[in-house]
Every structure is written in C-alpha cells, then in structure tokens.
C-alpha cells in the first residue's frame, strides 16, 4: 500500500498548481493585451493616415478608370467592350505579370475618345484624392496610346488639363501632368510626340517612361531623355519593376532621371541601394500594384521597409488604383500594417513624397508645414 502524502504536501501541491495556473493566465493576459495593443496601434495609424496630408507621384490616369465609368463612357461613345458587365470586367483583374495587366489596360482605353471623356476620367480620380486628403498629385497620361487611336491630341490634353485646373480652383490642390513615353514603341515615335507637345510645353511638368519593361531597356531612349531635359522638363522612368537592378542603374546613368518609378529591384544590388540613398534619388513605390503583378508574393514580403531603413527616399503611390485594389489611403495603411511600419516611418514616407514633388520651393514648404502641423501638433 503506497504511503499517504501528508496533508501539508497536498496543500503545497495545490499551491504550486494554483500558482502555475495564475502564471499561465498572466502570460495569456499579457499576450492578449499585446495583441490588442497592436490592433489598436494599427487602427489608430490607419485613422491618422486617412487624415494625413499626402502627395501622389505615380498614378496613370488610364489606370484610375473604374469599371462603372468605363461602361458609362462606352455607352456614351457606342463602344462595345469585350466584357458584358462590370462584374465580368472586375473578374478579369487577375494578373500573373505586367503584360496580363497591360492587355486589360489597353482594351479599356478604347472608351476614351472626346475631351469630355478625359475630363470625366481625371475628375473622378481628383475627387477621390480630395476625399483622401491628398494635397498634391502628379499624374501620368500616355499620349501615344491615344493619338495612335486617332484621338486628337488637343482633346486628350485639354480634357485632363481642364480637370486639373478645376481641382486647383475648387480645392487649392496643386497638380502636375506627366507625359509617359511607351517603351514598346520606337524612340522616333517618342520624338514625334514631343513635337505635338511643344505648344503646351509649359503646362507639362515632366516626361516619364512606361509600358512593358522587358525587353525594352532604358538605353533605347537616351536621345529622347536628352531632348526632354533640353525642353526643360523633369524626367523619370519606370525601372526595376520586372526589369533587373541594372535597368535602375541605367536609368540613373544613361537617362539621368530626377526620380525612379518603382525601382524595387535595386535591392538585388546593395551598392546601387547605397548609391540611391546617397544621391537621394526618390523611388515612387506602388506596394499594392507590386503584389498584384507578382513582383512580391505578398505585401509582407515587400522590401519597402528594408529600402527605407537603408536610407532610400521611398514614397508610396497607387499606380493603377482601379485595377490594383486601392488608392492612396489603402496603399499607405495596408503597407503600414503588413510591414509593421512605425508612426515615424509613415511620416518619413509622406514627407519624402512632398520633397520628391516637382514643385516650387515655397509651395513644397507649405505642404510639408501642413503635414508637420497634422502629424506633430
């Protein structure tokens, strides 16, 4: 017969068991509290981001064409789209690469024919930006994609310019229009577009380079960018989205750009990252776009935070928001949550945007002062 434990030992055991349970409860409480604190912090930052003064530097107007507006313009212009409904169109927003997206993107351009169409598209985007507390926008349009469809250059330009001027008048929003060259076409075609743009040169802030990055290296447009600088325009180019880090380097060395659009593959070359940081050449990063086009598997895998920590002047933008699931606020908030960005990180990225904008120094200072007043009262 086993010896009975003294009653005192049983009490001690109960004490130890009770103490163990209490310790586990305390650990669970601390863990739950930490989880709740993290949730509250993210929720608080999402709210602060929504009200934060912002700038957008990388957005293609054609990529802001929402499905309902696309169908409305199609009906207005008696254009038959290959999709039978808005839902069918949205279902096509499943992309495995940049070219998959471009196929849908270019098909959507067919509804844009008149000055009113271009005004309506631009104004719809600007209204959204005003609601999201965006103080300054610099938007792309691709003239070649429209004039090749026999859309008059003047109709395209005046429609967009009219909406930008209306936003300036109605909301005191500052704006800039960028003409994006299409890299799948020749440099001669780009030069011809410059000739068309000459009468409105003072109403264009810069020249960019978009379209399929592969197999169209920056070296293909060296002379076009030389001319753009001679005309007095700022310059930027898409590089390092699907192209290699060497394309980012060539964009700096050969095209001599003021900004790089995307640029995230620079991370494959640590020396290039250090150089970009030292030169303070801004990257207009588009996080949700990068995930949708499979540049990164998920937003948690994005390298924006790594580049930020390395001193690179990263900014956050929406690229083609109607196709990629979010405008400025969603890009900022989703990235903050996925990468666990701090409040200081968010402020730095927002400030980078204003510093990278093609604005007079006094206007830039005014916008940064608004950001500081909001973020650091």
Domain containing residue 198: CATH number: 3.20.20.140
Round to whole Å and give the CA distance between 135 and 175.
Answer: 9
Please give the average per-residue pLDDT across 161-179, as a whole number: 98
On the question of pLDDT at 17 being above 60, the answer is no
Closest CA to 259 of 242, 239, 273, 245: 239
Strand partners, 276: none
Nearest-5° angle of CA 126, CA 164, CA 197? 130
Mean pLDDT on 233-261: 98
The reported pLDDT for the residue numbered 376 is 81
Question: What's the confidence (pLDDT) of residue 28?
Answer: 46
- Written in H, E and C, the secondary structure of 91-142 is HCCCCCCHHHHHHHHHHHHHHCCCHHHHHHHHHHHHHHHHHCCEEEEEEEEC
More reliable by pLDDT, 104 or 314? 314
- What residue numbers bound the domain in which 81 lies? 55-375
Q: What does the pLDDT read at residue 42?
A: 66
State the pLDDT at residue 38. Answer: 47
**Is a pLDDT exceeding 50 seen at residue 241?**
yes
Q: What average pLDDT score do residues 330-358 get?
A: 97
pLDDT in tens, 41-61: 567 899 999 999 999 999 999
- pLDDT at residue 96 tops 50: yes
CA 132 from centroid of its chain's CA atoms: 14
Q: What is the mean pLDDT of residues 218-233?
A: 97
Higher pLDDT, 129 or 94: 129
pLDDT for residue 35 is more than 50: no
Residue of 37, 52, 40, 38 lying closest to 332 (CA atoms): 52
Average pLDDT over residues 69-94: 93
Q: Which of 42, 53, 43 is nearest to 132 (CA)?
A: 53
CA distance 150 to 168: 30
Average pLDDT of the residues in 337-362: 98
Least confidently predicted of 7-21, 73-87, 95-109: 7-21
* Residues labelled catalytic: 241
Q: Tell me if 36 is assigned to some domain.
A: no
Residue 26 has pLDDT above 80, yes or no: no
- Closest by CA to 347, choosing from 83, 132, 53, is 53
Kindly indicate the confidence band of residue 377, based on its pLDDT and cuts at 50, 70 and 90.
low
Q: How many domains does the chain have?
A: 1
Domain-located, residue 175: yes
Domain-located, residue 172: yes
Cα–Cα distances in angstroms (integers) from residue 344 to residues 49, 54, 312, 340, 349, in the given order:
12, 15, 15, 11, 9
Please give the Cα distance from 238 to 259 (Å, whole number). Answer: 9
pTM: 0.88
- List CB contacts of 216: < 8 A, sequence separation 6 or more: 183, 184
pLDDT at 360: 97
Instruction: Identify whether 322 is part of a domain.
Output: yes
From the DSSP assignment, how many helices (H) and strands (E) are in the chain?
17, 8
pLDDT tens by residue, 107-130: 889 999 999 999 999 999 999 999
Closest to 233 measured CA to CA, from 196, 202, 199, 267 = 202
Q: What pLDDT shows up at residue 99?
A: 83
Distance CA 287, CA 273 (A): 18
Q: Dihedral of the CA atoms 226, 229, 234, 237 (nearest 10)?
A: 0
> Average of pLDDT values for 214-226?
97
The overall average pLDDT reported for the chain is 90
Bridge partners (DSSP) of residue 137 are 56, 175
CB-based burial label for 227 (10 Å; 0-12, 13-18, 19+): middle
Q: What is the widest separation between alpha-carbon atoms in the chain? A: 108
pLDDT above 80 (res 189):
yes
């Amino acid at each position: 017969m086993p010896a009975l434990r003294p009653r005192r030992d049983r009490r001690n055991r109960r004490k130890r068991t009770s103490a163990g349970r209490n310790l586990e409860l305390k650990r669970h409480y601390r863990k739950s509290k930490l989880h709740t604190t993290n949730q509250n912090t993210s929720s608080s930052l999402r709210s602060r981001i929504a009200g934060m003064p912002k700038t957008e530097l990388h957005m293609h107007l054609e990529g802001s064409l929402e499905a309902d507006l696309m169908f409305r313009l199609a009906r207005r212009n008696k254009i038959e789209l290959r999709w039978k409904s808005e839902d069918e169109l949205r279902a096509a927003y499943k992309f495995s690469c940049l070219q998959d997206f471009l196929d849908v993107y270019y098909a959507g351009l067919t509804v844009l024919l008149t000055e009113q169409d271009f005004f309506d598209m631009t104004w719809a985007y600007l209204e959204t930006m005003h609601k999201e507390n965006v103080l300054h926008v610099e938007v792309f349009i691709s003239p070649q994609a429209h004039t090749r469809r026999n859309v008059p250059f003047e109709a395209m330009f005046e429609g967009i310019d009219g909406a930008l001027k209306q936003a300036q008048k109605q909301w005191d929003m500052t704006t800039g229009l960028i003409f994006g060259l299409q890299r799948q076409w020749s440099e001669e075609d780009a030069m011809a577009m410059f000739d068309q743009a000459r009468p409105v040169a003072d109403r264009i802030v810069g020249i960019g380079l978009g379209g399929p990055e592969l197999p169209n290296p920056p070296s293909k447009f060296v002379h076009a960018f030389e001319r753009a600088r001679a005309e007095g325009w700022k310059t930027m180019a898409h590089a390092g989205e699907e192209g290699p880090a060497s394309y980012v380097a060539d964009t700096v060395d050969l095209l001599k750009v003021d900004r790089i659009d995307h640029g995230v593959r620079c991370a494959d070359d640590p020396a290039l990252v250090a150089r970009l940081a030292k030169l303070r050449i801004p990257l207009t990063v588009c996080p949700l776009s990068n995930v949708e086009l499979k540049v990164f598997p998920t937003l948690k895998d994005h390298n924006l935070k790594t580049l930020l920590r390395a001193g690179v002047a990263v900014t956050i933008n929406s690229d083609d928001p109607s196709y990629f699931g979010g405008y400025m606020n969603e890009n900022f908030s989703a990235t903050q949550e996925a990468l666990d960005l701090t409040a200081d990180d968010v402020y730095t990225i927002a400030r980078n945007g204003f510093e990278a904008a093609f604005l007079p120094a006094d206007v830039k200072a005014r916008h940064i002062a608004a950001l500081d007043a909001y973020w650091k009262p």
